[in-house]
Chain A
Amino acid sequence: MPKGKKVIFLGAGLLCIVSALLSLGLGAASLSPRDLWQAICGGPKDTAGWIFWYARLPRTAACLLSGAALATSGAVIQAVLSNKLASPSIIGVNAGAGLAVTLCCALGFLSGWAIAASAFGGALLAVLLVVFVAEKTGASRTTVILGGVAINSFLNALSEAVVTLVPEAGMSRGDFRVGGFSSVSHTRLIPAGILIVAALALVLTLCNELDVLSLGEDTAQGLGLSVKKMRTLFLILAAMLAGASVSFAGLLGFVGLIVPHAVRKLVGSESRYLLPLCVLGGAGFVTCCDLAARLLFVPYELPVGILMSVLGGPFFILLLLKRKGGKDHD
């Protein structure tokens, strides 16, 4: 690996570790490193132990997992649809998962596995719908996005309708809609976490396939890649990642779009750098944002989705402005 890239990876890794440690320690009640250590060793016995095991640890894990999952899902979707505007929140994947989770709650299935599975199912259906529309209409790059945006607002509207008709389905809806980690629990996190880790592991072994796929359909086929099969597999994995993340973190928007782009600016589009750095960068970014959301207005807490857009928007525009002079063949 070239030296510049090593430094970038090291930095992203550090960002993850530091933000995770801070996220474990800081909050409405701060835990000193010694408290932390005792809590880790002692289990949930005293107050500090309770805070650590039942609030901080699930929350930090949730931040890391959802950040990694959404960023990677975004990168994969962008490569497969060969469209840089695509991301799980824009083409309706998150909305599909959101609708499925809302329906699941409205029908009274509240177990962690039921919610994670339905979120994955909803995300997958949304992806397949987008692909179907794209293939039927001839799949120009703009059409994919337009179709996705339409599906997105349609699915979101359905979710709203369900919540209006069955108010109980909207437990902590406010948090769900913009995304947030204040109500993360073990029961929801563990099944989703398993899905995310499995999907990430698989995606990371398929870097070459993703690169060859983004050479274009005909070229990829000519190189011996079964295009249809691989594309479906990648979309299923992307739906798994995004869906699982939505099931506990709600509709976090921005991560899936800006993290892949920011990472691409840093290390280029080769998947073997892009995907791992998306995992690290996404995890670190979301954890930092969540940390800030908790600390900025103590004892009040901002939903992290809001903060992410406030921080991420300008940062992204800055990145776009910095890219002066670079050639771009779109």
Chain B
Amino acid sequence: MIKVENLSLSYPGHPVLSGVNLSIPAGKVTVIVGPNGCGKSTFLKALVSICPCDSGTILVDGQNISRYSTKELARKVAYLAQNRQVPDISVLRMVLHGRFPYLSYPRRYKKEDFSIAYEAMEQMGIEDLAEEPLNALSGGTRQKVYIAMALAQDTPAILLDEPTTFLDVAHQLQMMEHARFLAEKGKAVVMVLHDLSMAMQTADQLAVMAEGRLLRCGEPEMIFNSGCLDSVFGIRVCRFQTPEGWQYYYQSNHKRA
């Protein structure tokens, strides 16, 4: 679905990404992990051309993203930013804005847009909240609204930048289910996560980044065996067998005296 080849990107003065290669398949959850400041968020932004890249190519559906217009790209890839303003509008309006890339003159949302928005809200179980103001909702519910918006955007790929921030544990787990659900619908899902055990549990494909490079990418099991997480984060990742499969946890490397 998305293919990144030899991507390099720099902010004025310092390089952020160098030589990143990654292929993001449809119907799979790709999770990106890495220490703070390693360029994960910038990488996602590059995929929706919020951050223009210096060199390398990003192919979406086999076509270079520089050849898409902003609107065309927004019909291919949905992006949920990490820092979001909470506007004072209703849930329905918010979800409807997912249809913005499809708007043409006279710039009014049509019946079809409304029915797609309602369908998206039903899938997230928030159809009863349609008329509620967004800023009166809890963080977990608001997250559902944002995902419903991305669903309404009806794109083959969805990028989620740290979707679990500010969520309690139950909602974090729910968020992982949402991600799996999106992948089962055939979308290419990319998430940036900090919680390694959650990442190992959820990912079909785990990408480890450090200092602007993609160190390794593959199935969680393979990444675990390579020991690359241990060296990148300076921790020890361990696992134990449970009836549901492997559970991962991590420990500090520094032994207490």
Chain B interface category by residue count: 35 or more
Residue-wise, chain A 214-242 has the 8 Å CB interface mask toward B (1 for contact) of 11101101111110000000000000000
Q: Is A143 interfacial (CB-CB < 8 Å)? A: no
User: Which of B69, B74, B101, B135 makes the CB contact (< 8 A) with A327?
Assistant: B135
Distance of A90 Cα from B90 Cα, bound (Å): 29
User: Which of B84, B90, B93, B100 makes the CB contact (< 8 A) with A223?
Assistant: B100
Which of B8-16, B75-83, B234-242 participates in binding chain A? B75-83
Residue-wise, chain B 32-56 has the 8 Å CB interface mask toward A (1 for contact) of 0000000000000100101000000
Q: Is B124 interfacial (CB-CB < 8 Å)? A: no
Which B76-120 residues sit within 8 Å CB-CB of chain A?
A: 77-81, 83-90, 93-94, 97-98, 100-101, 103, 106-109
Residue-wise, chain A 48-83 has the 8 Å CB interface mask toward B (1 for contact) of 000000000000000000000000000000000010
Which of A144-152, A204-212, A281-289 participates in binding chain B? A204-212
Distance of A264 Cα from B133 Cα, bound (Å): 13
User: Which one of A211, A219, A268 has the greatest number of beta carbons of chain B within 10 Å?
Assistant: A219
**Contact partners of B84 in chain A: CB under 8 A:** 215-216, 218-219
**Contact partners of A264 in chain B: CB under 8 A:** 88
| A226 in contact with B70 (CB, 8 Å) | yes
Q: A211-B89, A211-B97, A268-B89 are in contact. Are A219 and B81 (CB under 8 A)?
A: yes
Which B59-80 residues sit within 8 Å CB-CB of chain A?
A: 69-75, 77-80
Distance of A297 Cα from B135 Cα, bound (Å): 46
| A270 in contact with B79 (CB, 8 Å) | no
Q: Is B153 interfacial (CB-CB < 8 Å)? A: yes
Distance of A205 Cα from B94 Cα, bound (Å): 19
| B87 in contact with A211 (CB, 8 Å) | yes
| A214 in contact with B70 (CB, 8 Å) | no
Which B128-142 residues sit within 8 Å CB-CB of chain A?
A: 133, 135-136
User: Which of A222, A268, A270 makes the CB contact (< 8 A) with B80?
Assistant: A222
| Smallest beta-carbon distance A209→chain B, Å | 8
Nearest-neighbor residue (CB-CB) of B87 within chain A: A214
| A222 in contact with B75 (CB, 8 Å) | no
Distance of A205 Cα from B74 Cα, bound (Å): 21
**Contact partners of B72 in chain A: CB under 8 A:** 224
Q: Is A322 interfacial (CB-CB < 8 Å)? A: no
| Smallest beta-carbon distance B133→chain A, Å | 7
**Contact partners of B88 in chain A: CB under 8 A:** 264, 268-269
User: Which one of A82, A215, A223 has the greatest number of beta carbons of chain B within 10 Å?
Assistant: A223
Nearest-neighbor residue (CB-CB) of A224 within chain B: B74
Distance of A42 Cα from B100 Cα, bound (Å): 51
Which A182-196 residues sit within 8 Å CB-CB of chain B?
A: none
Which A246-304 residues sit within 8 Å CB-CB of chain B?
A: 264, 268-270
**Contact partners of B69 in chain A: CB under 8 A:** 224
Q: A222-B78, A222-B80, A224-B75 are in contact. Are A216 and B85 (CB under 8 A)?
A: yes
Q: Is A45 interfacial (CB-CB < 8 Å)? A: no
User: Which of A219, A225, A270, A328 makes the CB contact (< 8 A) with B90?
Assistant: A270
Q: A221-B48, A224-B75, A329-B135 are in contact. Are A214 and B81 (CB under 8 A)?
A: no
| Smallest beta-carbon distance A228→chain B, Å | 10
| Smallest beta-carbon distance B182→chain A, Å | 16
Distance of A327 Cα from B132 Cα, bound (Å): 13
**Contact partners of A221 in chain B: CB under 8 A:** 48, 50, 70, 79
Residue-wise, chain B 169-191 has the 8 Å CB interface mask toward A (1 for contact) of 00000000000000000000000
Distance of A192 Cα from B238 Cα, bound (Å): 72
Distance of A207 Cα from B107 Cα, bound (Å): 9
Distance of A224 Cα from B101 Cα, bound (Å): 5
Distance of A327 Cα from B70 Cα, bound (Å): 34
Residue-wise, chain A 132-175 has the 8 Å CB interface mask toward B (1 for contact) of 00000000000000000000000000000000000000000000
**Contact partners of B81 in chain A: CB under 8 A:** 216, 218-219, 222
| B89 in contact with A208 (CB, 8 Å) | no
Q: A222-B48, A224-B75, A269-B88 are in contact. Are A216 and B83 (CB under 8 A)?
A: yes
**Contact partners of B94 in chain A: CB under 8 A:** 215
**Contact partners of A222 in chain B: CB under 8 A:** 48, 50, 74, 77-81
User: Which one of A208, A218, A226, A329 has the greatest number of beta carbons of chain B within 10 Å?
Assistant: A218
**Contact partners of B77 in chain A: CB under 8 A:** 222
State the B residues within 8 Å of A (CB). 45, 48, 50, 69-75, 77-81, 83-90, 93-94, 97-98, 100-101, 103, 106-109, 133, 135-136, 153
Other than the given A211-B87, A222-B77, A222-B79, 16 more pairs (CB < 8 A) read A208-B108, A215-B97, A216-B81, A216-B85, A219-B79, A219-B81, A219-B85, A221-B79, A224-B70, A224-B73, A226-B70, A268-B88, A268-B133, A269-B89, A327-B136, A329-B86
Closest 8 CB pairs of A and B: A224-B74, A222-B79, A218-B81, A224-B101, A269-B88, A224-B71, A216-B85, A223-B100
Sample of 13 A–B contacts (CB below 8 Å): A205-B106, A208-B103, A211-B97, A216-B81, A218-B50, A218-B83, A219-B80, A222-B50, A222-B80, A223-B97, A224-B69, A268-B90, A268-B133
